[in-house]
Structures are given as structure tokens and as C-alpha cells.
Structure 1
């Protein structure tokens, strides 16, 4: 629902920059519709092509998934668009100068799923089965679940990835449940969701990040804040603080998920080794109190604001994340991080 005050100071057309992939367009379209409802303004999708969209090289060789964000952010800073929508898991944890994550809408399903032709569980795939994924975290998790399978690099859109299973080129692939849901994909293959406690996913997986310039019009910043979900913001800040605290890039073999339930939070974090016996893991239960919209303000490292400014922010999300990161490092996590420390 819009009001005259929230719409004042906004352009007639708000430009939302997005990658041109089907998933990026679907995610951006979701935010665009919500922003139109809040502002009463039309939101136009502006397609921006990144290096990651035009090369077939593996993500690891390109320096990780942050390659998708660089060109988008350049376009935002250059004034080619007014805001961006990212998959938060793809963003570096370090703040981007001049930019702010103004909203993290309610999180979608954060689980990974295994896609197969016949519903065979990952653990039951016969030796030599071909499993597709390009993520070091997923590679380590797949090998821990079934050491006998062969890992094959996986690029392309969701349809082309699933086609490699359907056509028999691969026996299984690993995808994010959130992407499948947002695409509304009609899946004629078997989907096996993985439990987040046993198989924690990337920090911020399932979360969309709505980014704009730090000097954006106050009316736009206020409109975007109305899309923010405080519980999602708190959880992702804990996860991303852990990732930053152990100096791991978003492409490192780290799985972390914060489960919020009332006034408590459970955090599962795994720093995965090539040998499953090397994995450093922690499973924490923390009393956090009630999270309100006011109490969530200031939590995000991406906003550049001080956590101490957040009313009722005790304990702070960043404090929890730093403490868990400290424990992981004390247990030897730094020796297992093979990915780049920054993206």
C-alpha cells in the first residue's frame, strides 16, 4: 500500500539493474512488484551483462561468484540504474564503497537439493556416478556423503543444468532450492532436499540483497526499508560475519546457517576439508531475545552503520558471528580454507 509521503521525491520510473539470466530476472521481478506496491511508481528492469554471463570458464577460475556483482555495481555507481537485486550469497562480505544493502526481503528456502533422474539418494549413488557442481563447499559435502562419485564442473542456467541430468550426461546435480522456487520451474526430475543441520549452505543462501547508492534519495531508501525483513537481516548478518571472521571468500568451502526460532537462534557452521575427518564444525544455541524492525537496524556490515546504534540489539548479530568465527579459527578452520580470502 502506498502513501503520498513515501512516494514524494521518487522518480516516475525507478530503474532496477539486473543480470539477464532467467533466475536474476525472476528475482528482480519479485522485488520490482513489491517496490511498485510500496511506492506506486513503475519499476523498470535494466539488463546488465557481466563477465560471468559471457564466459564458460569455471567460477573458481574467475575468482568466485563475486564476478557477477562487479559489473552491476559499476553500473549502479555510474547512474545507469537506481538499485540492484543480488543473490546475497554471491556478494563479498566486505562493504562496497558508496553502496548500501538497503533491504533483505524475507528469506526463501535456504536448502540445497540433489536432482536425479530416478530418485536415488546421493548416498546411494553407485561408485563412478557423475555429480555436477562447481562449488568447493558442495564438492566437499558431496564427497563426504558419497566418496565414490565423480565430480564434474557445472555452469549454465537451471534448465541447461537439469538437461544434463535428463540426457544422461550427469547422474545428479546440486542446486539451490530457492532458485528453483523463484523460477517456478516445472521439474520432471527427482528432487532430494538436504537437511540444513547436516548440510549447511552458503552464508546468505536464499536471501535477496537490494542494493542502492549510499547517497540515494531518502524517499528511495525509505521505500526499500519497507521491503526489509528484520529476522532475515539478523540471520544473514550472523552468517556473513562468520564468513568474514574466518577470512573466507563467498567461494570458500564453508557452510553456515542461522536458524531463528522465537527468542533463540541455532547456528550450524562447517569449514570443510578435502578429507571429511578434517572438517571443523560448530553447532551453537544462543538466546537472542525478540527481534523487531527497530532492533534490526544497524546490524548489516553492508550498510556501514554501527551495530551499537541499533536499539535493543543485545546480543548483536555481529558479536555472535565474531565469537563463532573465533571458535572455528581456534579449532583449525584457517588451515582448511582453500578459496580466496576476498572476492
Structure 2
């Protein structure tokens, strides 16, 4: 274990993006702890296996090697992209901090700024995400999707070279990279109302061992953003309730509005445009109930419903998880299981 006054060793994937976002956490942790933070690059299966994530089982492929290194004492903390973490955290580990979330949206990157829905028939769109593939076909059924792996620079280069007409990327990833990764390319932000993203997208998770020193846990707690933790807890609970893994063709986005939690979740058929979605707003605290604020289902089928029972008496984290699980249950009641691959 790290002793007080020693360097804090931060385990991270080796990619430029992973090290950039870990660097942001390192600087913040140095400021609150008064200790130096050193990055420890670790190679994960997801970095070495070039097969499609949907083939190798995206759940955990970026986390397992990092967690093993943490358990062996090679580092003291880990920084993950939260959307890559399985919903079940091992008993010997703890997500000690979830800093404030960056932009949760996806962006479509093209050479000339043509919106995704206006790209011509047969245009090639790069993405390996089943969710994004389904959303591309909803937005513009005339497009062709091509499986895509590699770092951000290599993905952007395939657009710049003309090999692809567009790629779908996370806005947060672009914003965390140094300099101007887009260069002459153009990014179209895809609004969360019509293009919700993966549970936890835009958020980072700082993980350590459950028996980490108290002073380290206290320093990490200072980095935690409660509003972000509440929102991503609900999003991840939707995924957990659907029981399909982080490569499922589903999306969930939550936000706190005047003390209530709004959750939008959609499960997609792979390519035919069919999807089942729910939009609910629920109180996080008993005294925050608002009159006339029912949830509203959207896309398929039409109707209204309030999604989850009020979580009276529960703390906001427990309440958000209960709301997310209830959303998953309602999606399954409406036939979402028929659209989901089984783990």
C-alpha cells in the first residue's frame, strides 16, 4: 500500500486518450492530496486484440488487465472510461470517485460538415458499436456502416483520407485530447434527445482497492461529483437490469432537473430501425415531488407512464439505482428482450 507522502501510482491504458484523461485526474488529485501522481501505463486485451469489440465481448476487455495490476500492487488507483466498466464491481474494489462528467454526446465527424442525415446513399460510416450502428440506420437508412477499431487519430485519418465518409466518436474523448485533433475535419454534435449515448459516457471512474488507505480514499472522495454519480448510477442500472453487457444496442442518459431525475433509455434492433424507448422523470427525495411531471414514453410505443415508484426515504444514489432498474424492467415488459443479445 502507498504510505502517506509517497507517490500515488495511477494505472491507465496506454492509448493517448486514456493517458490524457488520466492526466486530468492526476492533476486534480495532486491538488487535493499534496502528493505527486505518477502514471503507470498498462496494456489491456482491448488494446491488443484487433477483432471487433462485439466479437471479443466488449464487457471488461479494457478493465481486466488494469484491475489485475491494481490487485498485484503495481498501482494504487485506476482511471477508466466509465462506459467501459462492467456494471458489477468486484467486492475487493471500489469506485472511489466519479469526477464531473464531460460532454456525454456523440459527434459525427466528416470532411465537409455534411449532417449525417444528409449524407448520400452508400456513404461509409465508421463505428464498431452496436448501439451506434443501430442509431446510424435510424438517422439515415441509406448509409453503410464499417467496423472501426484503433485510436482517435487513426479513426480521424480514415475520414481525412477518404476511406470513410464519417466516423462516430464520443465528444468527451475529443475534448480531452491535447491540441486540435480534428484539424480540417468537421464535427456534428448529435443531440441526446434523439441520439442518447452509452451508460456512463463522458464520465471517468477512479477505482481502488476496498482496503485502500483512509487518506487516499479521502483524497479521492474530494474528486467525486454527486450529480454525475447519481446520473450514471441510474444509467448503469438500466444496463444492469437489461442484463446484456456493455456492447448491447442500447442507450441511457440521465440528468437531474430541479431535484428530480430524468432518464431516457432506448433499446435498438440491430439494423431495421425498430426501437423501444422510455423517458421518465422521478423524484430523488420525498420533498422534491413536483405536480404534473409524469414520465413520457417515446418512440415505440406511444403513451405515458411514470416509470418507477417514488424512492421515499432512500438516499439519492440508492434512489437513482432503483429508478434505473425500474426503467429496465419496463423496457423488458415492452419487448426489449427480443432486441437484445444474451450474454
Please state whether the residue corresponding to 2:128 is helix, strand or coil. Answer: coil
Deviations 1:91-124 (A, max 9, x none): 0001223110000000000000000001111111
Q: Give the alignment partner of residue 152 of structure 2, picking from 147, 154, 158.
A: 158
Residues 290 and 262 of structure 1, relative CA distance in 2, 3 Å threshold? farther
Return the match for 1:10 from 4, 13, 29: 4
TM-score, normalization by structure 1: 0.88
Q: For residues 235-254 of structure 1, what are the structure 2 equivalents within 5 Å? A: 235-254=231-250
Higher relative contact order (CA 8 A, sep 6+): 1
Report the number of matched residues.
316
The residue aligned with 2:117 is 123
Residues 301-334 of structure 1: CA deviation (Å, up to 9, x unaligned): xxxxxxx9x9743971111111111111100111
2:186 matched to 1:190?
Answer: yes
In structure 2, the partner of 1:331 is: 334
Work out the CA distance in 2 between the residues paired with 1:315 and 1:65: 24
Structure 2: unaligned runs, 5 residues or longer:
288-310
**What is the aligned-residue RMSD (CA, Å)?**
1.9
Larger deviation, residues 55-64 vs 174-183:
55-64
Are 1:263 and 1:287, in contact at CA under 8 Å, matched by a contact in 2? yes
Partner of 1:210: 206
Identify the match of residue 286 of structure 1 among 275, 282, 285: 282
How many Å apart are 1:56 and its aligned residue? 1.9
> TM-score normalized by structure 2?
0.88
Aligned CA distance change for structure 1 residues 213 and 116 (closer, same or farther; 3 Å): same
Aligned residue among 45, 60, 64 for 2:58: 64
- SS of residue paired to 2:321: helix
Q: Partners in 2 of 1:152 and 1:257 — Cα distance?
A: 25
Q: Secondary structure at the match of 1:26?
A: helix
Once the two structures are overlaid, the 10-residue window that deviates more, 259-268 or 71-80, is 259-268
Structure 1 equivalent of residue 303 of structure 2:
none
Query: 1:62, CA displacement in angstroms?
Result: 1.5
Mapped partners of 1:96, 1:170: distance in 2: 39
Asked whether the equivalents of residues 134 and 273 of structure 2 are also in contact (C-alpha less than 8 Å), the reply is no
What is the CA–CA distance in structure 2 between the aligned matches of 1:37 and 1:317, rounded to whole Å? Answer: 30
Q: Which residue of 2 aligns with 1:40?
A: 34
**Which structure 1 residue ranges, 5 or more long, are not aligned?**
1-7, 292-307
Aligned match for 1:262, one of 247, 250, 258: 258
Q: Residues of 1 paired with 2:127 and 2:271: CA distance?
A: 18
Question: Residue 324 of structure 2 aligns with which residue?
Answer: 321
